[in-house]
Amino acid sequence: MALPLSLRDLVVPGADGPLLQVPALDLTAGALLGIRGPSGAGKTTLLHAIAGLRERATGRVLWGETDLLALSAEARARFRACHMGMIFQDFLLFDELGAGANAALAAMFRPRPERAALRARATEVLDHLGLPATARPVASFSGGERQRVGIARALASDAPVLLADEPTAALHRAAAEALTGDLLRLVREGGRSLIAVSHDEALLARMDRVLTLEGGRITDDSRGVGG
């Protein structure tokens, strides 16, 4: 089940002042949120803060009833493992492994009774994304194929929240549009929340809501086509 997000007085400090300041932000469960802004605006900092990856952040990051900033580093890691899937711009795949092994990577860290189900979900999501769970090393895959494997890995754990950092940046236009369509379809069908940092206006236009960041602050909050 997707979780609502509530930020209150979130501040991420930097060497020369705050990198990010968000007095208040609320996101309903199952919503699709895009984050845009120039380089250095604080987009990835915000994504990392709401994932509990910024140790020095202050304020409140509430996912449902859980305040990530009130948890220990170990407890935040457990929360991410149970509730969040991460999609990275540079894929972060193991090149020597195939699509199926990469997509099911989280099974290595799950209790034994849960592993078969996670591997089955990984295969199913790859199929939905048009990729076989082949043993052919992903080093030979195209950029679009590699990003699809990364998305399958994020979805295979059945996480209710997906966080994506420039998911289409490495792709040409046609591949980006195809990937966007598949990603949003799977997110909506699963009732998941998606928060995506992106410069891709075509992707942002299909989100429910889009934030613009400048200088670590939200300067615009608008509705997308999906909203």
∠ CA 120-124-125, rounded to 5°: 120
User: Residue 226: its pLDDT value, please?
Assistant: 59
User: Residue 110: its pLDDT value, please?
Assistant: 86
Q: Are 6 and 60 in contact (CB under 8 A)?
A: yes
Residue 117: Cβ within 10 Å count: 13
User: Residue 12: its pLDDT value, please?
Assistant: 97
Instruction: State how many domains the chain has.
Output: 1
- Tell me the average pLDDT of the chain: 92
% the chain with pLDDT above 70: 98
Q: What average pLDDT does range 74-78 have in this prediction? A: 94
pLDDT in tens, 161-184: 999 999 988 788 888 898 899 999
Binning pLDDT at 50, 70 and 90, where does residue 160 land?
very high
pLDDT in tens, 123-148: 999 998 888 888 899 999 998 899 89
Checking if the pLDDT of 223 tops 90, the result is no
Residue 52: which residues within 8 A CB-CB, separation 6 or more? 61, 68, 69, 71, 76, 79, 80
* Domain residue limits at 112: 5-223
What is the value of pTM for the model shown? 0.90
User: For residue 217, what is the domain's CATH number?
Assistant: 3.40.50.300
Q: What average pLDDT does range 201-221 have in this prediction? A: 96
Retrieve residue 69's tokens. Answer: 């900033």
With both helix axes pointing from N to C terminus, report the angle between 112-128 and 173-189 in degrees, rounded to the nearest 10.
130
Binning pLDDT at 50, 70 and 90, where does residue 225 land?
low
pLDDT in tens, 4-53: 999 999 999 999 899 999 999 999 999 999 999 999 999 999 999 999 99
Q: Are 124 and 102 in contact (CB under 8 A)?
A: no
The residue whose two tokens read 């919503």 is 31
Retrieve residue 22's tokens. Answer: 């968000």
Q: Are 204 and 28 in contact (CB under 8 A)?
A: no
Which of 50, 46, 8, 48 lies closest to 25, judged by CA?
8
Q: Give the count of alpha carbons within 13 A of 30, CB side only.
A: 7
User: Residue 138: its pLDDT value, please?
Assistant: 95
% the chain with pLDDT above 90: 75
